Amino acid sequence: MSVNIISRSQWGARAWTSAPANVPLSERTEYFIHYDGGTPVSRTGNAIPRAIESEHLGNGWSGIGYHFVVDQAGNIYEGRGWSYQGAHCPNHNRSGIGVQIAIGGDQAPTDAALRSARALYDEACARTGRRLAMRGHRDGFATECPGRRLYAWVQAGMPAPGGGGNDGGSPGGGTYTVQRGDTLSEIGEKLGISWQKIAETNGIRSPYVLQIGQVLRLPGSGSGTYTVRSGDSLSVIGARLGISWQRIASANGIPAPYVIQPGQVLRLP
């Protein structure tokens, strides 16, 4: 079982201006969480890693500096990946795998984002064969990063909301847990889903009052099915059928890290 990662070519990364140094997995001992900074992130999808890449190229770096970036929908984008030295925290760029969760200011991470960041941690531990130390950027450098919410999550041991993570069977699949200050329109924007559809799916009527901790089911609708074959991933299936794999995931309530099993029957959106 492994996490589904959107490759550099899939999100349209530019070529490295000079190849980053290779780092063997045996040198990795730490896993660092970052955020985007003091300003909330409103971009979604591939625009997120592309914007970070532009900024890092502007710093004179060879390309995006984080090893991976996780967005609010739980998508994981490849940056330096598993084998290259990072550019995310001085003195920790070889020992530390740097992961940015794309939120800023006082934005709250979604359950999907935290599940993916945790699944990626579990994957990193599996690949290195050791329990990597959990760190926030501020543990290695004088910075506010990763912000108070993500730092508290790191200090709590990076729990996967809903008990999910890499087991693929969590009750958190296709759901969102309402956080303080959330409104339906903000949640819709955050997740890239129409808030009216979220309201309809959950039978919420005007004036659309939400409770903190309320678990919302995310909408999906189906026509036709596809049976998963050995070696398939959601992105392969999506490309084969000409359907966005994110929509297939949503239609089937498959949470990040998007684990599917051969023989599983997917409803098509």
Least Å from the CB of residue 74 to Zn ion: 20
- SS3 for 125-142 is HHHHCCCCEEEEHHHCCC
- Residue of 87, 116, 108 whose CA lies nearest to 152: 108
**CA distance to 4, 153, 265, per residue, from 236 (Å):** 11, 33, 15
Nearer to Zn ion, 90 or 213 (CB): 90
Least Å from the CB of residue 34 to Zn ion: 3
Cα–Cα distance measured from residue 30 to residue 20, given in angstroms and rounded to the nearest whole number: 19
Nearer to Zn ion, 132 or 218 (CB): 132
Nearer to Zn ion, 34 or 118 (CB): 34
Nearer to Zn ion, 8 or 34 (CB): 34
Nearer to Zn ion, 158 or 204 (CB): 158
Least Å from the CB of residue 145 to Zn ion: 3
- Residue of 179, 268, 244, 260 whose CA lies nearest to 10: 244
Residue 76, token pair as written in the block:
């994981």
CB contact set of 123 (below 8 Å; sequence gap of 6+): 2, 3, 166, 257
CB contact set of 235 (below 8 Å; sequence gap of 6+): 4, 6, 10, 245
Least Å from the CB of residue 36 to Zn ion: 9
Least Å from the CB of residue 66 to Zn ion: 9
Residues lying near Zn ion in the complex (CB under 5 A) are found at 34, 137, 145
Nearer to Zn ion, 35 or 176 (CB): 35
Q: Which amino acid is at 138?
A: R
Least Å from the CB of residue 261 to Zn ion: 36
